[in-house]
């Protein structure tokens, strides 16, 4: 079994970030560039982001350690960063310089690094295309197991 080190690193960083937002959202918020105390609504959103990041990071790291396909979790991680970037761009002009650099810069790096990891992913035993087809066409796979001569007429 091979450990996907890039997925393990990316997942561990996202997991640690998520846990920090769950344990002490005010401190984590300061670390990401906001020196002011957030409103109760903002604290709720910080904790929500913590749950999201802990979940995605933990599952990405677990997939890496178990040798499973990490591509989907890489894409979920890049999607979370892209959502943060889009949301941040809408209030960019209202943010302090530190928030712009740390918060939005982190999102850009996350989208680029994690997105690149997902795009470059290679599965050693089964090609990505074959893996996608098998997951996508589960009913057809069941039919092939029951009847080895089964051919999906919709794929012709």
Spatial distance between the Cα atoms of 79 and 81, rounded to a whole number of angstroms: 5
pLDDT score of 148: 64
The angle subtended at Cα 85 by Cα 3 and Cα 26, nearest 5°, is 85
Q: Give pLDDT tens digits for 78-98.
A: 888 888 888 777 877 787 777
Residue 103 pLDDT exceeds 70: no
- Residue 58's pLDDT band, with cuts at 50, 70 and 90, is very high
Q: Give pLDDT tens digits for 125-151.
A: 333 444 444 444 445 555 556 666 656
Give me the residue spans of the domains in the chain: 5-121, 123-156
Residue 59 pLDDT exceeds 90: yes
Q: Give pLDDT tens digits for 39-57.
A: 899 899 999 999 999 999 9
Q: What is 46-96 written as a DSSP string?
A: HHHHHHHHHHHHHHHHHHHHHT---HHHHHHHHHHHHHHHHHHHHTGGGS-
Note the pTM of the prediction, 2 decimals.
Answer: 0.68
Please state which of the ranges 10-14, 42-46, 151-155 shows the lowest mean pLDDT.
151-155
């Amino acid at each position: 079994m091979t450990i996907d080190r890039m997925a393990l690193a990316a997942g561990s960083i996202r997991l640690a970030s998520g846990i920090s937002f769950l344990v002490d959202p005010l401190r984590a918020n300061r670390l990401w560039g906001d020196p002011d105390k957030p409103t109760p609504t903002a604290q709720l959103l910080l904790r929500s982001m913590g749950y999201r990041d802990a979940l995605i990071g933990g599952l990405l790291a677990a997939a890496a350690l178990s040798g499973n396909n990490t591509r989907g979790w890489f894409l979920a991680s890049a999607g979370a960063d892209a959502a943060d970037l889009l949301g941040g761009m809408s209030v960019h002009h209202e943010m302090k310089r530190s928030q712009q650099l740390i918060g939005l810069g982190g999102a850009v790096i996350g989208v680029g690094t994690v997105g690149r990891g997902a795009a470059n992913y290679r599965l050693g035993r089964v090609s990505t295309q074959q893996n996608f087809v098998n997951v996508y066409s589960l009913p057809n796979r069941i039919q092939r197991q029951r009847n080895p001569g089964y051919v999906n007429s919709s794929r012709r």
